[in-house]
């Protein structure tokens, strides 16, 4: 499966292929932000496609990636199980908690949870 533009809960979402390339640089993230030009309002990225540096907050990579999405008013949903990363970092647990309270970056277990979150915004 390739990355696909889908309508989910009335919102155009770029749903990224779990087997796609790893998001390992800010340029990789900007390539996903380019989805806004396809008409997407959100990008759903499988947790496994994010480089390990994303989950190590001291690298600053997560902050850079998240800021790019906020700057372009594009939602980012990290989809999948990140429990091992959460268990290893209280800072990451705090970031996830705060992000999930907001409207631009969410960490969700699956696409059904994304659908529910998007529907709640309508």
Q: Model confidence over 102-120: pLDDT tens digits?
A: 999 999 999 999 999 999 9
Residue 19 corresponds to which tokens in the numbers above? Answer: 């087997």
Q: How far apart are CA 82 and CA 74, in angstroms?
A: 22
Residue 4 dihedral angles phi and psi, to the nearest 5°? -130, 140
57: left (phi over 0), alpha (psi -120 to 50) or beta: alpha
Mean pLDDT score, 68-78: 95
Please identify which residue in the block is written with the tokens 């292929």: 17
CB 83 within 8 A of CB 49: no
Mean pLDDT score, 13-33: 94
pLDDT at 36 over 90: no
> What's the whole-model pTM score?
0.95
């Amino acid at each position: 499966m390739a990355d696909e533009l889908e309508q989910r809960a009335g919102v155009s979402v770029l749903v990224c292929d779990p087997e796609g390339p790893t998001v390992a640089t800010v340029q990789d993230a900007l390539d996903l932000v380019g989805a806004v030009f396809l008409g997407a309002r959100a990008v759903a990225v499988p947790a496994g496609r994010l480089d390990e540096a994303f989950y190590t907050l001291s690298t600053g990579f997560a902050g850079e990636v998240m800021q790019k999405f906020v700057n372009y008013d594009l939602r980012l949903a990290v989809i999948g199980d990140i429990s091992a990363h959460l268990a290893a970092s209280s800072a990451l647990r705090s970031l996830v908690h705060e992000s999930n309270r907001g409207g631009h970056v969410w960490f969700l277990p699956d696409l059904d949870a994304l659908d529910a979150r998007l529907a709640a915004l309508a």
